Amino acid sequence: MPQATVITPHDLPLHCTGPQEQPWNGHPRVFLPIESNSEYTCPYCGIVYRLDGEAGGHH
């Protein structure tokens, strides 16, 4: 299981552009609808994000 990238409410709205170590292999910027205290996997590249905190009005 891949290790999750931990984000906080300060990092919202959440978006992904692909793996940072391989900029040539990125994908379009996509905004991800993460919910409070949960995980979301990018459908393009499979990076797992975990929000530690409340999403508030960001979706």
Predicted confidence band of residue 1 (pLDDT cuts 50, 70, 90):
low
* Distance of alpha carbon 1 from alpha carbon 9, whole angstroms: 24
22: which residues sit within 8 A by CB, 6+ positions away?
A: none
Which pLDDT belongs to residue 3? 87
Which pLDDT belongs to residue 59? 47
| Under 8 Å between Cβ of 4 and 50 | yes
Question: Domain limits of the chain?
Answer: 1-17+27-59
Q: Tokens for 51?
A: 């929000």
| Tens-place pLDDT, residues 7-49 | 999 999 999 988 877 667 778 899 999 999 999 999 999 999 9
